[in-house]
Structure formats: C-alpha cells, structure tokens
Structure 1
C-alpha cells in the first residue's frame, strides 16, 4: 500500500494566455504591386516560406482587380479635387490662386504620412497556440475558429468597403491573416469645395492603436487569447509617477530578424572554421614534431647499438684469429724443436680445432648481433609506420579543413550572388519607378492641357494645310507674359499629343459655328430681300449682321512649341 501526501488547500494552475498580435503599417498605392507579388509568393524573400504549402493559402475577402480599383479611385479623386478647387476659387474671384493651381497641377488626395495613406495589417497569435510549427502540426479546428473570429472582427470594424483585401497564409510557421484597408472621407470648405481624401485616422482603430488592441483582446477572448501587454499605459503611469519610463519596444520585421540570424550563422560558421584551422594546424605541428623527434631518437639509438655490437663482434673475431695464428706458430716451432712430428701434428690439429670452435662461437655472436639489429630495424619500421599514420591523419585533417573552407567559400559565393541579384532587382525597381514617374508626369501635363483647352486658355488655329495649324491663346488665357511662358514650358513635352485632340475640338466647334452662321446668314439674306420696304439704317444693320456671320479664318499668335 502506497502513502501519498495530502493537499489541504489545492489551487488550480493557470497557464498564461497567449496575446493576440494586431499590427498596422502604412502602404503607398504605388507599392500595391510589390505587396501582391510577395502575397502570392511570386518574389521577395521566400526563405521562411514552405512553398509546398503555399497552395493552401486562401483569399478571404476582396473584389476583382482590387488594386486597380484603388489606383483608379486615387486618380479620380485627384481629378475631381482639382476641378472642385478650381471652381471654388473661381466663385471667390481668386484668379492668381487659380493660375498658381493650374501651374501646380493635381495633387495626391492625402496628407503626408509615414509609409503611405493605406494601411497594411496582420492578425495572428503565437504558433504554439495553433499546435506547433508549420501546417502539419496545427489543430485544424483552432485554425478555423481563429479565421472566423478574425474575419468577423475585420468586417465589423472596417465597414463600408474599408476592408479591401484579406488573405490567410498557411505556408509559414504560424497561421496569420494579411489585410489591406483604404479609408476614404469627404471634406467641404469654401476655398477648396468638396474634397475626397484618404485619411486612415477617420477609423477609430487606426486613430488609436491602444483602442484597437482593447477591441482585439475582447474579440478573441472566447478563444483563450488575451490582449497584448499595455506598454503605452505603463509608460504613462511611470511618467506621471516620476519613475523611469520603460523604453518603447521596436517591432522587428521577420525579414530583418531572419537577416540577423543568417548573419549570426555566418559568424558562427566562420568562427568554427577558424577554430578548426587553428586546431588542425596545432595537431599537424604536434604530430610532425613528435614524429620527427621519435624517428630521430629511434634512428640514433638503433644505429648506435648496431655499431657497438658490430664493433664488439669484429673485435672478438680478430682476437680469435690472432690467437689461432699464434697457436699455429707455436705448434710449428714446437714441432721443429721436437723430434716427434706426429705429436706436433696432433697438437696443431687440436689447436686448429679450438680455433675453429672459437671462430664458430664468434660467428654465432655475429648472427645474434645481426638478429638484434633486425629487431631494431623492425622497431624502426614500426616507428616509420606510425609516422606515416600520423602523416595520413594530418592529410585527413587538412582535407576536412579544406572541405570546411570550401563550404564557407560556397556560402560566401551564395551570399554574394544573392546580393548581386538583389542589387539587380532594386535597379530594375528604380528604373521602373523612374519610368512610371515620367509617365505620370506626362499624363498630368496631358490632363492639364485638356483642361486648358476646355477652359479656353488655349485653342487651335486651323490653316489651309493641316501641317500649318498651330496653338493659339484663347479668351481665358492669362495676360502676363511670364504666366504664359510658364504654361508653354509645362505644355511643350505634350504638345504633339495634344495636336490631334485640339484639331478635333477645333473642327467640332467650326462645324457647329458654321451651321449656326449659315442659318443666320440665310435669315439675314431673306430679310435683305425685303429691304426695299426698310429704312437705310435698317438695311445697313442687316448688312453688318450678314458680314459678321460670314465664315472667316481667325488667326492669333499662339504659344511657341
């Protein structure tokens, strides 16, 4: 039987709720194409994207060609705002301001703002709430619940077509929703008339981000997701209390975070490679030094021992040979001295046998020395084998170091290639933006030229030859030469484009006037037929009307091209 501790006052453990993430940043209409390219994974930084899961991304809200619609709305607002302001200045009789406005041209329908007048936003929560990293580990029910709550929240707080686009991304670490808002409003003043402008602060969420975080926290509370930290409120409280004010936390974009991580990885890789180089060099130097010292010592010791033993054996053989010769000489002398030759011969044979035995012993010692020399030679070969093994290990370490160096060089080459590609993309973007800016400028001038033709500031003077036609000043043209010169400078780039339109307007007006003048001339001719019954002054007046309505070719000095 087991005994367990007893808890008299158990308390539940509440894990902290993950905070909702709601962020906004400015977006310029000219950057909608770049936004769409990244949103559809057609370009930009895709290193953090699982492209195999990109097919699961889904558009949750948008109208067809929503980007073109926003750009068309901006262009229409610029045109209408310009006309409204011109009309307001005309009603107030401010000719100088109208002239200045004509010179200035149309302007963007928004005030200067960081990033742009549109708002790009993101809604998400920590990936652990969904179940882990990546689509494969997410809880499908949680994803669906988050998606529904998010769209209910966005549609409620961005009404009247303020929400222009929303897309759910399934191909990154955490599920999230990208969205774009455009908040239009109208302002009416005596000096400007009715102006339609993009102003994000009209929406309460975009005007006060703390309020937006409060509303988001309430909307997602049912899912167990809390509001984020109240940092702005904490700073205000600290300021009122005279305490140290916490620093504002800067949001680090994922692309910047990944770049920092990549740079840190490169630094670690370089450090590892450098450390491997140093360690390999130390190992190679140690192995080389140890091998050389071992070989040198073993070689000296073996040679010295072999020389010593060879010298000893040589000395013993020489001594035995000297002793044998000495005994032979003594035996011969004894035989000469002794009459018994047989006894002398026996003595010589015995001494010779001893000499042979001594020589055999010396020979055996020499063989033994040779055997010992062979053992030392074997040891020397073993030392050489160990040295070769150390050399092979050194080559292996060098190969590993060279492999690491090659990997580092490959990584550097890839980074350099990415930088070159990025530079080319940025250069292409700059070129495209320059071309777009030039085209927009020409379109502005062309629209201004059409307005000048429509406002009778400029007119077309026809000629018998179509190529001899030219622009002339209309009745509403400014009188000062300096103002006329400025208009000519602005219109010069688009004069060739305005020619066909001006000729068409001139022909249309001439046709209408010709018909009206023919009718008046016919009426006057009819009346003149009755002049016999009229007084002289009446006939003269009718003649004047007839002459005044006869077709003529008016000419006027126009602006030089």
Structure 2
C-alpha cells in the first residue's frame, strides 16, 4: 500500500513591534499558552538570528523612525515650511509603515503532521529525528531563499506535540521621499507574502523532495465552483493552537460536569428505588400499613426500616404513592358501592312504577267510592317514591290528576 501523502503546513500571522516582547516571553516559556509544553523535551532551538534579535529589531525600527523623521524635518526646513515644521516637531516621529490590521511584520509557521515526523524506516530506533533534520534544513533554506536578510529570527520548537518552526520577517523596503531614500517596512515587497497561494505553491514544490505535498488549494476550488455556478466551499478560519486548546478544555470540562450530573441523578434514582422496594417489602410483610404506620415489629432478615430510611426521599415518595393509591382505591370502591345502590334503587323504583300502573288500571274498574280511597293511599305511596326518584314526581302528579278525574 502506498504511503500516505502528508501536506506541508505554512501559516502567516500579522505582527507588530509591540508583539515582539510577548513572542520572546513565549519562546523562553515564561508567558502564553504553556499547558501543552512537555518540560521533559528540549527547549526551542535557535535557527536564524541571535539571542538578542528582539532588542536588535526594536532598535532598528526606532532608528528607521528617527532617520525618516529627520529627513522630513530637513525637507520642510529646506522648503521654508516654518508652520509645518513647527507642527511636525511637536507631533514627533511617525511609524515607518502603512497602518493595517496585520502590522508591518510577519510571523511564519512551518510544520507537517506529527505522524510524518514519527515515520521512520529504522524501526529499531525509538526516537528517530531524521525527519526533523530533513524538514529543518529545507525550511531554513526556503526562508533564506525567499526572504533573505529580512528573516531576522527563526527557531525550532521540539517540546510540543509536533515539531514546527517559527520565523519572524521584517520586510524592509526603500522609498524615495523628502528628497532622499528612506527605509520603510512593507510586507508586500515579498511576493510570497503578497500572494498567499503562490507561497503555498512554493513550499509544496520545495518540500516535495522530502515526501511532503502542497496543502489544499482552496482558492482554486472556490474559483472553479464560482465558474461552474456552484456554491463555493465554506471558508476555513485558522484557529491558533492556544485558542483551540482553550475551547477543547472548556468542552471537556462541560462533558465532565454533565457526566457528574448524570451520575448523581442515577445514584439518586437508585437510592429512591431501594427505599421504594424496602417500603413495598415492609407493606407486603405486614410490618407497616400503606400510610407507613408500623403494625408489628419486623421479623425478616432483609434491610430493616430504620428511622433514617423512613426519612429518606424514596421512603417518603413510596409512602405518598401508597397513600395516593389507597385513596384512589377507596374512592373507586365508594363509587362502585354508590353505583350498585343506585342500580338497586332504580330497579326497585321500576318495579314500584309497574305496580302503580297496575293499581291505576284496577282503580278505573272500581266504583267511584273505592277509587277515592285507593287514590288517597296511592298519593301517600307516591310521595315516598318521588322522594327517591325526582323523575317520578311529574308522573305522580299526572297520575293523581288522572285518578281523581273520575270522582
């Protein structure tokens, strides 16, 4: 099977003079994101520049500012611009670069996937640094070939997860103004800073000799998608390692907190379940009633119903559940008894109604005197019936009228 092709990684980051001190503090592992640093590995190793490169760079930038300021004042004096001369002396030197959100310097990162550095043909050698040496030689050569003396610093970081190289470029350019040649800092003076895709092509070709390939050509993919009327791929935002680690630590902490909450919930449910089971066992054994009141001392060898357990949430919950069930059962029994009683009364009233109808039919056949006596008895009887069944009241009045009619 063919070996996997790993891309060479090139990243630029804007940098200003005020960032140099923080950069140096991190180089000496005194400041910044240090949580991922392996203290047992060698510290960063200088590749280009001196140990005092930072002080030298800041001093050079200050010198450029003062030289440019002096040339400007000389030019104003030569042209007899007294008012402007006075104003500029008060304002002081200006930065010798065009203001931008990136700053005048560039930090360069060169690396590859850690798996590529760990690959080795000699399996007997546990810590093979041949790949790091190859990469380092190519990286230093590429930096010098493309940026020359503007590479004022480069170092190799070997105490992190993957070997990588940091470099700082101070892009010096010369412009003619104030009647003289003045030095300025201009990143676009370097084609590989001005054109990011060209830089990716360059490192891809340069590192191909050691088996690495160019990274994904995203801009080309975007152009092709737009030319073909398709949606371009989503733009990626490079996340700095410190930012990624901070987000990853936050994500892991949240997962741990959620896991702890779930663990506690499960433990609480288990405790409640044990209390409920103990309560049910005690009820079924006749030790307590459904309300939790003791009936007789427990003679079983299971978990005793201790005072502490009686105050447990599960025990209380079980007692409430049993009490609620008992109330519902009692209510259902009462409802059923009432329904049965009402059914019996309805049956009896129906029988009485049938008998009343029979009496009414017989009364109609009797002489008028006897009908009157039967009517008086029937009115007393129907008063009791109507008290049981309101629906019978109308029938009683109607029946009474019918009965008294023939009199």
In the other structure, the counterpart of 1:33 is 21
- The whole-number CA distance in structure 1 between the counterparts of 2:279 and 2:224 is 75
Per the TM alignment, residue 239 of structure 1 is displaced from its structure 2 partner at its CA by: 2.6
Distance in 2, matches of 1:138 and 1:232, equals: 38
Partner residue of 1:158? 147
- 1:193-212 maps to which residues of 2 (within 5 A)? 193-212=180-199
Aligned residue runs from structure 1 range 49-88, under 5 A? 49-55=37-43, 57-88=44-75
The correspondence of residues 349-364 of structure 1 with structure 2, limited to 5 A, is none
SS of match in other structure, 2:6: coil
Asked whether the 8 Å contact 1:294–1:383 carries over to 2, the reply is: no
- 1: distance between equivalents of 2:155 and 2:9? 16
Query: Structure 1 residues 103 and 192 mapped into 2: Cα distance closer, same or farther (>3 Å)?
Result: farther
Matches of 2:51 and 2:248, distance apart in 1: 39
How is 1:161-240 mapped onto 2 (pairs within 5 angstroms)? 161-189=149-177, 191=178, 193-240=180-227
Change (3 A) 1:137 1:37: farther
Q: TM-score, normalised by structure 1?
A: 0.50
For 1:82 and 1:273, how far apart are their aligned partners in 2?
64
Change (3 A) 1:162 1:272: same
**Helix, strand or coil at the partner of 1:53:** coil
Does 2:16 align with 1:97? no
1:44 to 32, 41, 53: 32
Higher helix proportion, which one?
Answer: 1
Query: Unpaired runs of 5+ in structure 2?
Result: 120-124, 289-295, 313-407
Matches within 5 A, 1:81-480: 81-131=68-118, 139-159=128-148, 161-189=149-177, 191=178, 193-300=180-287, 380-384=299-303
- C-alpha contact (below 8 Å) 1:20/1:225 kept by paired residues: yes
Residue of structure 2 in register with 1:318 after alignment: none
Structure 1 residue 80 displacement after superposition: 0.8
Tell me how far apart the structure 2 counterparts of residues 153 and 73 of structure 1 sit (CA, whole Å). 24
Q: Partner of 2:9 in structure 1?
A: 21
For the Cα contact (< 8 Å) 1:295–1:380, is it kept in 2?
A: no
Provide TM-score, normalisation by structure 2.
0.68
| Structure 1 residue 297: Cα displacement | 2.5
CA distance in structure 2 between the partners assigned to 1:137 and 1:175 by the alignment: 16
Considering only CA atoms, is the larger Rg found in Structure 1 or Structure 2? 1
Inter-partner Cα distance in structure 2 for 1:91 and 1:236: 53
SS in 2 for 1:158: helix
RMSD, aligned CA: 2.6
Partner-residue secondary structure (3-state), 2:214: coil
Report the Cα distance in structure 1 between the residues aligned to 2:84 and 2:286, rounded to whole angstroms. 106
Offset, 1:156: 1.3
Q: What is residue 370 of structure 2 aligned with on the other side? A: none
CA distance in 2, matches of 1:205, 1:226: 18
Moved more, 70-79 or 109-118: 109-118
SS of 1:49 mapped into structure 2? coil
Report SS of the residue matched to 2:212. coil
Measured in 1, the distance between the counterparts of 2:276 and 2:147 equals 78
Structure 1: give runs of 5+ residues left out of the alignment: 1-12, 302-375, 395-561
> Which whole-Å CA distance do the structure 1 matches of 2:223 and 2:75 have between them?
45
**Paired residues, what number?**
299
Mapped to 1, the partners of 2:139 and 2:113 lie a distance apart of: 15
Distance in 2, matches of 1:131 and 1:142, equals 8
| 1:281 to partner: Cα distance | 1.3
Q: Distance in 2 between matches of 1:94 and 1:118?
A: 34
Name the SS for the 1:248 alignment partner: coil
- 1:67 deviates by 0.8
How far, CA to CA, are the matches of 2:188 and 2:249 in structure 1? 38
SS at structure 2 position matched to 1:380: coil
Residue 139 of structure 1: how far off its partner (Å): 3.1
1:335 paired residue number: none
Structure of greater relative contact order (alpha carbons < 8 Å, 6+ residues apart): 2
* Contact 1:88-1:193 within 8 A present in 2 as well: no
Q: Secondary structure at the match of 1:243?
A: coil
User: What is the Cα deviation at residue 113 of structure 1?
Assistant: 2.2
Task: Give 3-state SS (helix, strand or coil) of 1:119's partner.
Answer: strand
The 3 A distance-change label for structure 1 pair 245 and 96 is farther
CA distances 1:217-250 after superposition (whole Å, capped 9, x unpaired): 1111011100011111221232333332222211
Query: 1:513-524, aligned counterparts within 5 Å?
Result: none
Distance 2:23 2:287 in 1: 79
The alpha-carbon deviation at position 380 of structure 1 amounts to 2.6
Cα deviation, residue 49, structure 1: 1.1
| Distance in 1 (alpha carbons) for counterparts of 2:103 and 2:127 | 35
Name the SS of the counterpart of 2:95 in structure 1: coil
